Structures are given as structure tokens and as C-alpha cells.
Amino acid sequence: MRTICFFNNKGGVGKTTLACNVAASMAQHFSKSVLLVDADPQCNASQLVLYDRTFEEVYSQPATAVKAKSPKKHQTLYDVLLPIARGDSTIVDQIKPLRALNNRFMIDIVPGHPKVALLEDRLSQAWIDLGSGDLGGLSRTNWAKALTDKFQDDYDVILFDVGPSLGALNRSVLVGSECFMSPMGCDIFSLMGVANISEWLSTWLKSYGRGIDSCREKWEDEFDKYNARDFCELPLSFVGYTVQQYVSKTIRGELRPTAAYETILKRFPAVIRKEMKSFTDATKDPGKLNLSSVPNMYSLVPLAQDSHTPIHGIKSSDGLVGAHYSQQSKYTGFIRSLTSAILENMGLEVKHGD
């Protein structure tokens, strides 16, 4: 089982749409068993994957089991992290994802919840506690690893979708992830964001390493019981990036040239090689980090959202007509190729399914 996080500190780059469609492609095109964990408090992945009826059932429940008169029918990530929200250091023992049979993406999902955002302060304090050698801080910081360890034998891939933040919540998700990939927009801010990500990751990895050493020194006999993440020479593997294709616009009667898009696009490989050097295997071809350019799907995206289906699964009964078919065919080929590249860079077998 491998874990990957779709992560970028810049919003509006189609990250969640891409994450959900890649997850569906892993399941349907490459015969992988996939769990999607929605760790974004905005819950966009949950809203995309879950049917309206299920979505209503999930989010009409009380936010915590304490207020419920009967056990909750569906668990969200907040339910999983409720012990930490209360001040404990563990996650719930029994975690029941919503099953693939109940959505058109054919993936299991732990839905997100807006109250997960309230854990930022708890996780920030846990990070400080970890630095002083506190085992409780070590455990809370490693909640995502504890979650993935529980499903070690159940899935081929666990995929985390996170919000555009360099905060404590995303840091803890990355502690529990083996790999990450970054969907980018084709703009100067995405290039700047790569440098932000690199500096942030490098800084907190050093801090985490010092915290691990401190915990091990203070609690030599107890440390191994916590099964915390201990990063090796390649601490967190960067498997690549995508770039959202530029769409030309007419502004004040002027058509902005696609040359601007091409100029920025050409800068990505050098910036990625420089900034992500610490997170990539030096023996691998750096060209493989450029996973693909994401085509603009125009009206197919809202169609998929309304139908709660991956783009390759939209049907005529969902409103697919005319030119949509050729656009869908193009996207299906793209998503297969992208997913194959991600799986290969993650070190997983690429076995094509139906």
C-alpha cells in the first residue's frame, strides 16, 4: 500500500477535480483499490464524489457523536480525529469509510468536515510538543500515519486531498504520506509557490527530525510503541506536477497571446529541478516529473459535478451531447496517461484494467 497527497499552496488550479479523477482512474483503469481521504475543510472532494442523498445524510448528522441519540451512520474525518479535538493523542479505533459501491468513482472515501479546520491549533501545539520530546505531540502529529496503518492490508493506494495551505493540518497529512504531487496553474504565482513549498517542507522536516531524536532520547523504552514516521534519506518523494492549460481571453478587445503561456511553461522544468531536488531520486529521469498538461474541459466539469461522476464516466443521461463526446474521449486518454505516470513514479505496478 502506498500513500500520496495532492498538494499545492495555491488554490484554483483544479487540484480536487484532478485528485478525484485520478483516484477513479486508478480504480477503474488500473484495478487498484483506492481510499480517498478528504482532508480539506472545504470538503470539495466529498461533495464531488458523494451522491446528493448520501451527502445530505453525512452532513445532516450531528458534528460529534456526543450529541447523537444513536450511533452515526457515516463517519467523517472529524469523527476519526475527535479524540485529538478533545485533547487526547489517538484517533478512533474503528474507522468505516463510505464504500465504493455507493459512488460512481468506485473508490472508498473518508469524507471531510469543516470542523477539521478547528484542529489547526491543536496540531500546531502538537508540533511544539513534539519538538520538546513529548510523546503525545509525537502521536498527534502522526495521526495520518496511524490512519493509513489501519488500512495497510486493505488498499493499494490511499490518496489525501488537502486544501491550499502551509498550515499544521497539511503538515500532519504530509507526515503520514510517502509521496506528493502538485497540480499547478500556468502562472507566475505557481512558480513562486514551488519555492514556498520547497522551503516549507525542508524547514519542517528538519524540525520533525529533531523532535523524533528528542523523543527517542527521552523515551528510549517507549518510543517504538508509537510507530511514528521516521524519514530516511529520501524523506518525502515528489512524484511530479501537472500544469493547467492556459485559456486565451479577450481583454479590452485584445486577445492575450498564448506565447505568455508558453514562456511560463518553459520555466517549470528548471524551477522544479532546483526546488524539488531534495524530494526526488537523483537516479530518476527528471523529465518524468512533468506528468502532463491538464486540458480545459469547459462544460464537462460542471456536468461531472452535477452527476457526481468522474469525467470519463459521464453518460448521455447526465447531459453528454454533441462535441462533449470528443472532449470526453480526449480527457479519458489524458487521465489514463497521467494516472499511469503517477503510479509508475510511486513505484506501483501499472496493470491496466477495463
Domain ranges of the chain: 2-346
Nearest to 273 by CA among 260, 286, 291: 286
**What integer is the mean pLDDT of 72-76?**
86
Model pLDDT, residue 10:
83
Does the pLDDT value for residue 257 go beyond 60?
no
Q: Rounded to an integer, what distance in angstroms lies between the CA atom of residue 64 and that of residue 61?
A: 8
Would you identify the CATH topology of the domain 2-346?
Rossmann fold (3.40.50)
Asked whether residue 241 carries a pLDDT value surpassing 90, the answer given is: yes
CA 144, CA 299: separation in Å to the nearest integer? 35
Distance CA 185, CA 163 (A): 15
Among 64-68, 149-153, 254-258, name the one with the lowest average pLDDT: 64-68
Residues 6 or more apart whose CB falls under 8 angstroms from that of 328 comprise 300, 311, 312, 314, 320
pLDDT of residue 69: 47
Residues 40, 75: contact at Cβ < 8 Å? no
> How far is Cα 47 from Cα 59, in angstroms, rounded to an integer?
10
What pLDDT is attached to residue 349?
Answer: 86
Contacts of residue 312, defined as CB under 8 A and 6 or more positions apart, other chains included, come to 21, 24, 25, 28, 328, 331, 332, 335
101 pLDDT more than 60: yes
Q: Would you state the pLDDT for residue 247?
A: 62
How far, CA to CA in Å, does 219 sit from each of 136, 191, 212, 215, 229?
12, 42, 10, 6, 16
DSSP string, 90-151: ---S---PBPGGGSTT--EEE---GGGGGGHHHHHHHHHHHHTT-HHHHHHHTHHHHHHHHT
How far is residue 207's CA from residue 213's CA, in Å, rounded to a whole number?
A: 10
Average pLDDT estimate for 173-199: 92
Chain position carrying cell 511560463: 264
Q: Give the percent of the chain with pLDDT over 70.
A: 92
pLDDT on residue 16: 96
Distance CA 323, CA 137 (A): 54
Of the listed ranges 61-70, 167-176, 277-286, the one predicted with least confidence: 61-70
Least confident span in 70-74, 224-228, 340-344:
70-74
pLDDT score of 274 more than 80: yes
Closest C-alpha among 3, 33, 17 to residue 100: 33
Residue 63 pLDDT > 80, yes or no?
no
Lowest-pLDDT choice from 133-147, 238-252, 293-307: 238-252
Q: What is the pLDDT of residue 68?
A: 44
Query: Which pLDDT score, from 0 to 100, does residue 230 have?
Result: 86
The candidate with the shortest Cα–Cα distance to 241, out of 199, 290, 282, 306, is: 290
Q: What pLDDT score does 143 carry?
A: 97
Do 3 and 289 contact (CB within 8 A), yes or no? Answer: no
DSSP state of 61: S
Q: Band of the pLDDT at 341, cuts 50, 70, 90?
A: very high
The share of the chain scoring above pLDDT 90, in percent, equals: 74
Q: For residue 12, what are the contacts with CB-CB under 8 A and spacing of at least 6?
A: 185
pTM of the model: 0.93
State the average pLDDT for the chain: 91
C-alpha span between 20 and 26 (Å, rounded): 10
Does pLDDT of 99 surpass 90? Answer: yes
The string over 32-51, giving b where at least 16 C-beta atoms fall within 10 Å of a residue's C-beta and e elsewhere, is bbbbbbbbbbbbbbbbbbbe
Rounded to whole angstroms, how far apart are CA atoms 228 and 231? 10
What does the pLDDT look like over 109-136, one tens digit per residue?
999 999 999 999 999 999 999 999 999 9
pLDDT number for residue 354: 52
> What local confidence, expressed as pLDDT, does residue 251 receive?
58
